Amino acid sequence: MKGKQMSNETRNNYINRIIVVINFIEKNLEQELSLKCLSKMACFSPFPFHRSFLAITGETLNAFITRKRIEKIAALLLTGTRDHLTDLAFKYGFNSANSFSRAFKKFYGVTPTAFTENFSKIGIAVLTYEKYICSINHMKSK
């Protein structure tokens, strides 16, 4: 809507459509999450969807999906998964263990192994998801 102010009703409609997609992504991190499929779900064509998603969330669709997948794997690591890192990387859409490790390190500043070891060193054996989020937020604010 170049040159025109978007009405509150239209804005709320766009936000609600993006929220539907966000909820779907969060529940389906193990699935292929393509721009085409997600934009269709939100009743947008791909380019306007991508632009609206960025405007509403402050992240590109790909960055959002990657972040959510990394956070999910980090939560699994902290809550004591028996799955190997490589298996988790492939399960959550990374092409290789190396690409996952690079993305994880970029996000948290440490490798997945160091991340897990740092938490075990301070005596955190098992966390609930809520405690994990608080811990991660605390780590990221340092």
For the stretch 52-57, contacts whose Cβ atoms lie closer than 8 Å and that sit 24 or more positions apart, written own/partner, are 52/14, 52/17, 52/18, 53/18, 53/21, 56/14, 56/15, 56/18, 57/18, 57/22
What does the mean pLDDT of the chain come to?
A: 84
pLDDT value of position 10: 87
> For residue 126, what pLDDT band results from cuts at 50, 70 and 90?
very low
- Is 95's pLDDT higher than 70? yes
pTM: 0.78
- Taking only the tens place, the pLDDT of each residue in 57-88 is 999 999 999 999 999 999 998 887 888 999 99
- Is 13's pLDDT higher than 70? yes
Would you call 131 helix, strand, or coil by DSSP? helix
Q: Which strand (E) or helix (H) includes residue 57?
A: helix 46-57
- Between 4 and 56, residue with greater pLDDT: 56
Q: Which amino acid is at 39?
A: S
Do the Cβ atoms of 123 and 82 come closer than 8 Å? Answer: no
- Is 26's pLDDT higher than 80? yes
Tell me: domain 64-141, CATH 1.10.10.60, correct? yes
> For residue 120, what pLDDT band results from cuts at 50, 70 and 90?
low
Interatomic CA distance for residues 120 and 102, integer angstroms: 21
Mean pLDDT lowest for which of 20-34, 43-57, 73-87, 120-134?
Answer: 120-134
Quote the distance between the C-alpha of residue 74 and its chain's center: 11
